[in-house]
Each structure stands twice: as C-alpha cells, then as structure tokens.
C-alpha cells in the first residue's frame, strides 16, 4: 500500500492494516482516519451516504491473493477444483 501511494507522489505518515473490512468502515465512520476499500465492500454505506468514496488516482491498486493448504497433504477433488477456478479467474483478470 505504501509503495502505491509513494509512486503517486504521496507518502503516508501513519498506517494501520486491518483484516476486517467492517472494522475499517466503522473506524472511518467515527473519524479515525480514512480507509482503502474496494467499492463493493462499502456499497451500502456509499448509497446511504454514511461513507464517501474518493477515486484514488490514475493507477490501479492491485492485491495479491493466495490459497494455502498443508504441505504434502493430498487435496480432495473439490479442493483441487476450487484452486483451479481461482487460478482461472485470476488469469482472466490480469491486465
């Protein structure tokens, strides 16, 4: 995240990363900073105007995703299918 903003000529003084989108939205609502979220995460809050969305800039912010499983464990057909679907979706969305 810092790298993205630095490349755009902005440096963030204080940063906190949270795993909960709900926590981020609530902290923003009570005035503790700003949050970086995908628009679909805050769709209802944007619609009811409890949060305001600002475009971040010209460049697209990219996120890395991963699928984790225990090394050496034989995956079930369902697990292999899920991983295959994830890979397929990611490949089709690459710029």
Of 37, 82, 40, 25, which Cα lies nearest the Cα of 63? 37
Asked whether the beta carbons of 21 and 37 are under 8 A apart, the reply is yes
pTM of structure: 0.59
- Over residues 60-83, mean pLDDT: 87
Locus of tokens 């940063």:
15
Show the tokens assigned to 60. 């697209």
Strands (E), the chain: none
The pLDDT of residue 23 is 93
User: Whole-angstrom Cα distance, residue 71 to residue 73?
Assistant: 6
Mean pLDDT of the region 76-82: 95
Asked if the model's pLDDT at residue 95 lies above 70, the reply is no
Q: What is the pLDDT of residues 55-65, one digit of tens each?
A: 876 777 777 77
């Amino acid at each position: 995240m810092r790298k993205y903003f630095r490349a755009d000529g902005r440096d963030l003084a204080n940063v906190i990363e949270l795993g909960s989108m709900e926590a981020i939205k609530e902290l923003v609502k009570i005035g503790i900073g700003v949050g970086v979220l995908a628009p679909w995460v805050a769709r209802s809050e944007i619609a009811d105007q409890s949060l305001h969305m600002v475009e971040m800039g010209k460049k697209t912010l990219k996120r890395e995703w991963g699928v984790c499983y225990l090394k050496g464990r034989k995956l079930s057909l369902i697990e292999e299918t899920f991983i295959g679907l994830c890979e397929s979706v990611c490949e089709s969305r690459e710029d």
